Structure 1
């Protein structure tokens, strides 16, 4: 039998409608060309942007588990404008979904993407650091989220990377707005603001003090310009052990091969 908490969460999720892919930054600005070189565009076999992501080693990108799709084929790094500029386009070798992930909105929304070859660092490509196993984000702490896509509710995608500042919302306040909120998440932006992400920006990072502390997971359906629920991110600090184990395992296999 489902618990009352899970029933409430499923009711909220039913209100979300379909979560669209693509990164939709609301009331942001164009990201400076000399910034955020860890940002990745995860693309399908047609070369179309599907989800965001971010580079954590020379051959691994973090994204959201709900981005997983059989059409995902490439990761593009080193470009802020998806239509032009030099970039590195690397084939996806493997996608590792967290074993406890079920569906978006129920938590554990994190995926590691193994690249078929190591990226060349420098020239617009760099790694972003992950937080330690425990972090202490403060209420109203200002962080950043970035991505490609729509800039308003029902708007059109954009080609150039955009970024916006968002403020952290405490778990207590967030749970009041999201009954049955899953564990291991961070709330930032959205509720009581006009800034954040819209349907999508899936897999992009929440960056605080230079660390990628969160992965864009979900928000409240269709209301981006004046959202009435906080934006929800997977808390990376709670998955450091899992990430480190995956990286160690892949490294051992590479040495054997």
Structure 2
């Protein structure tokens, strides 16, 4: 029973990570091969896509930055013009192009999700669920999204997707849970702003209706007091989806 439940939770996490676009290339292809043969797993992926898809309706069209497409075209041209002796057989050169596109797609998916949640999350009065999935976009005081957070309340895990880095010499980012009633912040541990990661939340941290998260820059090893001591570089409200 326990093994079956663990497998179901693992499949749900894997499907969510696939939809979020945070899997590496080989894992993503493995997920796609499994989905093609496993209808139940494919349905799990579709369910996550359906849950996140409606958020797109709230996002206005955004023009790409000037020069982005010429840079992509130049990189593709550089990849395809590599000498055969360096790139290997033709099939491997084509594979390299798709790997490059896959990496770019993952980055675009993470950034797009951040934009979706940032726009949809403007209603700060939205209720916070006690189970299911919560999301938050942690933004700087200028409104720039820095980290997207997705919390699975059923498994008490948080997936963090950095959108823009925030560094400070001699300091490390620490994630905090901010209680709705204004109680003391609860540390969720040190994080990185350089790559996606998953944080396992301790029991009891989500028992109360916490409504916000924040990131502060702390000394190496984390806050020496158990409370934020450095500058808060990002914060955002939690919302149910």
Q: What TM-score does the superposition give when structure 1 sets the normalisation length?
A: 0.27
Which has the larger share of strand? 1
Larger RCO (alpha carbons 8 Å, 6+ apart): 1
